[in-house]
A = this chain, B = another copy of it.
Amino acid sequence: MIPRLYVTADLQPDGVVAIDERATHYLRNVLRRQAGDPVVVFNGRDGEFNAEITALDKRAVQLHLTARKREQDSVPDLWLCFAPLKKDAVDFLIEKATELGVAAFRPVFTQHTAATRLNLDRLAANAIEAAEQTERLTLPEVHTPVSLDQLLQNWPAERRMILCAEAGPALPIADALQRFTTAPEKSHPSGEKGAKPSSWAILCGPEGGFARSELDRLNKLPFVTPVGLGPRILRADTAALSALAIFQAVLGDGNLRPPPSMMPIGQRA
């Protein structure tokens, strides 16, 4: 297994980069790698590079970049707006949502959000780890938590919000998203005319659900599309991941395939 690491330095062929303490610890103490061992690195901007460990001591590791392995790509412009959950549920949500190609995490405190704080450093570290382990070339952005009021006051009008609505009027999510794929000359059921939006968000509530007043308010906003996720009550993290997976399949990059260089081990034999 060749370790894959996120680094902050610029990357170019034949370049030399130093890596941070976290990655140093991981390479040295967890994986017990030595000078001469291969590594793969990415920084979210310059694609992915093959590299070799050239020097390694307690506090720093130096890498020599040998060749560019993959060109930079990007993910659909999709925010996940979510109410902070218990620690384990947040860890899990960040990991899975990163795999599913979220562009940014936007934590939002709603009326019934039980969690009162969110460890943003931990959140960012989990996102880095998930990106490293699942071949992503970008990191999701991590935003500071805001209240639902603040989120809505500063909402960019052109960004369409898919609201996971446990109650009230809502199309099934597959239907609702499918309608955005129809020709631009048709008017959207939301009343909006024009091309398919290019920026999106999914908004999921906390374990207790949204307050009725919050749902009423959200439903009146021109950029909101309420959707239903089926007949079962899903936990908040399950709802968020379902919506993400369905979004990527219907409107996101679900029509793409992994590049051959990313084939799983079983396929390389």
- Interface residues of chain A, those whose CB is within 8 Å of chain B, are 73, 92, 96, 99-101, 111-112, 133-136, 166-167, 170, 172-175, 205-212, 214-215, 228-235, 238, 241-242, 245-246, 248-250, 252-260, 262-267, 269
Contacts and interface: CB of A to CB of B under 8 A. Distances in A.
Contacts of A228: 254-257
Given A99-B232, A231-B257, A255-B172, A167 B250 contact: no
Contact of A266 (B133, B172, B210, B242): B210
Number of copies: 2
A135 B232 contact: yes
Contacts of A207: 264
14 contacts: A111-B266, A134-B234, A135-B232, A167-B258, A170-B257, A172-B249, A206-B266, A209-B267, A211-B267, A212-B266, A228-B255, A228-B257, A229-B254, A230-B252
Contacts of A229: 249, 254
B246 A245 contact: yes
A229 B248 CA distance: 9
Consensus secondary structure, chain A interface: loop
Contact of A238 (B96, B205, B211): B96
Contact of A263 (B135, B209, B260, B263): B209
Contacts of A166: 258, 263-264, 267
B136 A232 contact: yes
B242 A230 contact: no
Nearest to A175: B255
Nearest to A170: B257
A245 B241 contact: yes
A134 to B, nearest CB: 5
Contacts of A249: 172-174, 229-230, 242, 246
A236 to B, nearest CB: 10
Contacts of A175: 255
Given A99-B234, A246-B245, A254 B112 contact: no
A241 to B, nearest CB: 6
Contacts of A260: 167
Contacts of A258: 166-167, 231-233
Contacts of A233: 134-135, 258, 262, 264
Contacts of A209: 263-267
Contacts of A262: 233
A238 B215 CA distance: 29
A233 B136 CA distance: 8
A205 B264 CA distance: 10
A86 to B, nearest CB: 13
